[in-house]
Amino acid sequence: MKIVGLKPGKKNEFELVHLGLEQLAPDTIVDGAIMAKLPVAEAINRIYNLQGIKVNNVATSISGHSVIVKKVNLPAQSPEELSESIMWEAEQYIPFDISDVNVDYEILKSVPGTGTIEVLLVAVKKEKISDHTSVINLAGKVPSIVDIDAFALLTSYVYNYQPTGQTVTALLNIGASITNLCIAKGAELLFTRDISIGGNQYTDFLQKGLSISFEEAEKVKRGAAVGGVNEAEVHRIMDSVSEIIELEIQKTFDFFKATTTTDRIDRMILSGGAARTRGLSEHLSQKFEVPVEIFNAFKRITYNPQKFDSSFINDISPRVAIAVGLAMRNTEDKW
């Protein structure tokens, strides 16, 4: 659980005013699905009380198989016409019953010489949205915005890194069980996909392979020493999981290159709770032959060093990339 509060300032600047985290029990959220609502609501309120947060409007985000994001070309039409026809258009691209999803869209651009427009189409199962909003309501807060993890990640990236030009960046937010992959050229979204793999794979393999507890496996995963553990075996297990993750990323890259006009990745930036998993960035850099760095979610965000310890900010930064992107949103935004 991560909660970030940002105060907007002049010249599109932000100051960090609230930052709270709480570790939930492993079975509270499984593969992005909220299995136990009350513990999540209680965690929200504990962070609110500890941080002294007064703002009740909350932005949250969703990922996983219940989310569909597609770029589609549709016949050129006015925004008013598209708002009336979008549900029919969306039905052709969404593998769910249209009555079971909420649909949103953004017109990206006109495609010269084709009589079409490029539209970013998003569909999310209503039950998935309800799971998130009901937990926020249970905590006594107001769910003002429901975003997509990949979009919030891109928002955070664009603000903090101010990308320009033709550099193609793969943003990988590696969570416990889901990895959000977002590919951008400069600030333009090219492709996004959620992969059902994450840091839990390391923990599970270490726990079983070394016959240690969940807590000990988490420590080993992050590079801490645990008595009686064979380091050679740790490296073997970690490498085997990294190879599984690499394979899933490679499949996604291959699909991206086959379905877009861009056939390269220039760099990778890792975020999420598993971003600093021992050896992962080196593995990815060697496998894909590109520079790999750790996401700095506070690269352009100011904070009071008397309130927030700089070493803590540096340590926590990649884990809150999505939360920072959500905190930048306002209720007037389209997305």
Q: Mind giving me the DSSP string for 22-69? A: -PPPTTTEETTEES-HHHHHHHHHHHHHHHT----EEEEEE-STTEEE
Check residue 333 and give its pLDDT: 52
Query: What's the CATH class of domain 163-295?
Result: alpha beta
Across 177-181, average pLDDT: 92
The answer to whether residue 331 scores a pLDDT higher than 60 is: no
Check residue 281 and give its pLDDT: 94
Task: Tell me the per-residue pLDDT of 239-272, one tens digit each, with 9 for 90 and over.
Answer: 999 999 999 999 999 999 888 888 899 999 999 9
Check residue 62 and give its pLDDT: 93
Percent of the chain, pLDDT > 90? Answer: 66
Euclidean distance between CA atoms 25 and 19, whole angstroms: 20
Check residue 223 and give its pLDDT: 81
Check residue 131 and give its pLDDT: 93
Check residue 99 and give its pLDDT: 92
Across 102-109, average pLDDT: 90
The answer to whether residue 330 scores a pLDDT higher than 80 is: no
Give the total residue count for the chain.
Answer: 335
Euclidean distance between CA atoms 298 and 314, whole angstroms: 8
What's the whole-number average pLDDT of the chain?
A: 91
Check residue 21 and give its pLDDT: 93
Yes or no: say if 16 and 333 are a contact pair by the CB < 8 Å rule: no
Check residue 57 and give its pLDDT: 93
Check residue 317 and give its pLDDT: 97
Check residue 334 and give its pLDDT: 44
3-state class of 219 per DSSP? helix
If you average pLDDT over each of 55-64, 84-93, 227-236, which comes out highest? 55-64
* Cα atoms found within 13 Å of the Cα of residue 181, Cβ hemisphere only: 23
If you average pLDDT over each of 108-117, 136-145, 208-217, 324-333, which comes out highest? 136-145
Q: Is 58 exposed, middle or buried (0-12, 13-18, 19+ CB in 10 A)?
A: buried
Euclidean distance between CA atoms 326 and 335, whole angstroms: 10
Angle between helices 214-221 and 199-210 (to 10 degrees): 120
